Chains A and B, each alone.
Chain A
Amino acid sequence: MPQNYVPIFIFIAIILILLPLTLLAAKLVRPENPSKTKLMPYECGIDPVSDSRGRYTVRYYIIAILFVVFDVETIFLFPWAVKFKALGLFGFVEILIFLAILIAGYVWVWKKGALEWV
């Protein structure tokens, strides 16, 4: 029933019209009086020491990669969950094998210390 998806687009369209409209309305009434100091990035009242868009520590990216791995595998579980009763024991064993692989990877990641923060 693809018709059921249509309201999503109406919804998004309405938001995308309404929000800029309100912003525009705000623009009409609000003061606009920028100065150099006001436009400085906030660094507790001190001029920033260094540019903040440098390379950042790798740990956050490790988390991102782990997320991709685990989340994709989670998605594979959804069809099984929906058809759980129909698939019965066969599906259960099958998914256990699948999860075993996942858990093995998880244990390996844990042992490697990728889940330790510092």
Chain B
Amino acid sequence: MPDPTSLSPLDLDTPDKTFLDANELIINMGPQHPATHGVLRVILRLDGEKVLGLECVIGYLHRGVEKIGENRTYAMFNPYVDRMDYVAAVSNGLGYCEAVEKLLAIEAPPRAQHVRVILTELNRLTSHQLWLGTHALDIGAITPLFYTFRDREEILKIFEKYCGARLTTHAFRIGGLQYETYSGFEREVKNFLAFFRPKIDEYEELLTTNRIWLERTRGIGKISAEDCIALGVTGPVLRASGVKWDLRKAQPYANYKNFDFEIPIGENGDTYDRYIVRMAEMRQSVRIIEQAVDALPEGPIMAKVPKVIKPPVGEVYHSIEAPKGELGYFIVSDGSTQPYRVRVRPPSFVNLQALDTMCRGQLVADVIAVIGTLDIVLGEVDR
């Protein structure tokens, strides 16, 4: 467990003297920086190029999503959650819809559940592709970005055909789905899977055994399983540290328990392991999608939901495994049409706390690699 005193703030006004009277350097990385993945500001305290400590300053993208939630009806708030982790909008929507469904004590019909799983896993692929492209770009490999965007496009096309939007999809409704799948949905998803499988190999060919990639990622940003748990880090980062924990298996939601897949884990908890874990996760997602498409049942797509959603008084916490980690919704209902309180537990926000622990004693270039490997989305960190 990280030493709590090490979490104290950096004293930024008085740079210390280090070896031979050299000044410590205090540098702002961000908010306008090409590699902070948005408007994240990291204040680095450097000795030469070595990081002595860092502090994150966030909130540049704060929009008060939770406050908005208190002033919108349950259905009206649904599109807002897409804007948090905007590269995994479908996952956000799934978490929110399921939380409200839980509060209403209803369950989406099987067909809707299947379609939800397909779209959510496709969304996990897009999220991981975006991560891979930008992460590689941060480390200096510019080509994978274009490859992943080329393939991500195919998924976005499916989203667009299904719900008319590509990024902030608003794909699900409370109680199920608004839209039936378009004709040829299954065929297109299957075609995509056939197209995508060799592409994962292609990404791996570019990077997995690349000497420079290995040197830049092995042993970088190490974090142990204990530290991960203490810091609340979830998702691929936790799994790369060797903890076999995935909410899809640990506390299955939607109908994930019907699908056969594995939880890839790493050993060292370094940047390379996180890379390997995410690559393996992509393959597992492909497996899940394939099973879901093959077993897509017929039937209604919407549960019996009252026109005006008025959940009984009470509160519920529901969390799902978003591409970045545990995404939780804590909703308090006062029996009215608007939630009394919506709390979002964003994975990126909590994961970002680990940045300091992961970067101390490493070089400036590694900070970039670690920010990339944490896979944060500032829309979700700041909400």
A56-B31 contact given A49-B12, A49-B26, A50-B26, CB 8 Å threshold: no
A118 touches B50 (CB 8 A): yes
A54-B23 contact given A49-B28, A59-B48, CB 8 Å threshold: yes
Query: In the bound complex, how far is the Cα of B363 from the Cα of A59, in angstroms?
Result: 14
Nearest residue (CB) in B for A46 is B28
CB of B49, distance to nearest CB on chain A (Å): 8
B48 touches A57 (CB 8 A): yes
Tell me whether B326 is interfacial, beta carbon within 8 Å: no
Query: In the bound complex, how far is the Cα of B48 from the Cα of A2, in angstroms?
Result: 46
Q: Which residues of B contact A58 (CB under 8 A)?
A: 19-20, 22
Q: Of residues 36 to 88 in B, which have CB atoms within 8 Å of A's CB atoms?
A: 41, 43, 47-50
CB of B59, distance to nearest CB on chain A (Å): 14
Nearest residue (CB) in A for B57 is A46
Q: Of residues 32 to 60 in A, which have CB atoms within 8 Å of B's CB atoms?
A: 43-46, 48-50, 52, 54-60
A57 touches B26 (CB 8 A): no
Q: Which residues of A contact B336 (CB under 8 A)?
A: none
Q: Which residues of A contact B50 (CB under 8 A)?
A: 118
Q: Mark B122-164, 1 if CB is under 8 A from A, else 0.
A: 0000000000000000000000000000000000000000000
Query: In the bound complex, how far is the Cα of B46 from the Cα of A56, in angstroms?
Result: 10
Query: In the bound complex, how far is the Cα of B57 from the Cα of A46, in angstroms?
Result: 12
B22 touches A56 (CB 8 A): yes
B30 touches A44 (CB 8 A): yes
Q: Which residues of A contact B363 (CB under 8 A)?
A: 117-118
Q: How many B residues have CB within 8 A of the partner chain?
A: 25
Tell me whether B32 is interfacial, beta carbon within 8 Å: yes
Q: How many A residues have CB within 8 A of the partner chain?
A: 17
Tell me whether B21 is interfacial, beta carbon within 8 Å: yes
Q: Which residues of A contact B21 (CB under 8 A)?
A: 55
A44-B28 contact given A57-B48, A118-B50, CB 8 Å threshold: yes
Nearest residue (CB) in A for B15 is A50
B33 touches A57 (CB 8 A): no
A57 touches B22 (CB 8 A): yes
Q: Which residues of A contact B18 (CB under 8 A)?
A: 57
Nearest residue (CB) in B for A45 is B32
Q: Mark B318-358, 1 if CB is under 8 A from A, else 0.
A: 00000000000000000000000000000000000000000
A44-B20 contact given A49-B12, A49-B28, CB 8 Å threshold: no
CB of B367, distance to nearest CB on chain A (Å): 13
Q: Which residues of A contact B31 (CB under 8 A)?
A: 44-46
Q: Which residues of A contact B237 (CB under 8 A)?
A: none
Choose among A43, A44, A45, A56 the residue that contacts B23 (Cβ–Cβ < 8 A). A56
Q: Of residues 85 to 112 in A, which have CB atoms within 8 Å of B's CB atoms?
A: none
Choose among B12, B30, B48 the residue that contacts A56 (Cβ–Cβ < 8 A). B48
Q: Which of B12, B22, B26, B31: most chain A CB closer than 10 A?
A: B22
Q: Of residues 1 to 41 in B, which have CB atoms within 8 Å of A's CB atoms?
A: 12, 15, 18-23, 25-33, 41
CB of A116, distance to nearest CB on chain B (Å): 12
Q: Which residues of B contact A52 (CB under 8 A)?
A: 25
Query: In the bound complex, how far is the Cα of B48 from the Cα of A117, in angstroms?
Result: 10
Which 9 A-B residue pairings sit nearest by Cβ, starting from the closest?
A: A57-B48, A54-B23, A45-B32, A46-B28, A44-B33, A55-B22, A44-B32, A57-B22, A49-B26
The contact sample of 21 A-B pairs, CB cut-off 8 A, is: A44-B28, A44-B29, A44-B30, A46-B31, A46-B41, A48-B28, A49-B12, A49-B28, A50-B25, A52-B25, A54-B15, A54-B22, A56-B25, A56-B48, A57-B18, A57-B22, A57-B47, A57-B48, A58-B19, A58-B22, A117-B49
User: Residues of A at under 8 Å CB distance from B?
Assistant: 43-46, 48-50, 52, 54-60, 117-118
Q: Beyond A43-B28, A46-B28, A49-B28: 9 further Cβ-contacts under 8 Å?
A: A49-B26, A50-B26, A52-B25, A54-B23, A57-B22, A57-B48, A57-B49, A117-B49, A118-B50
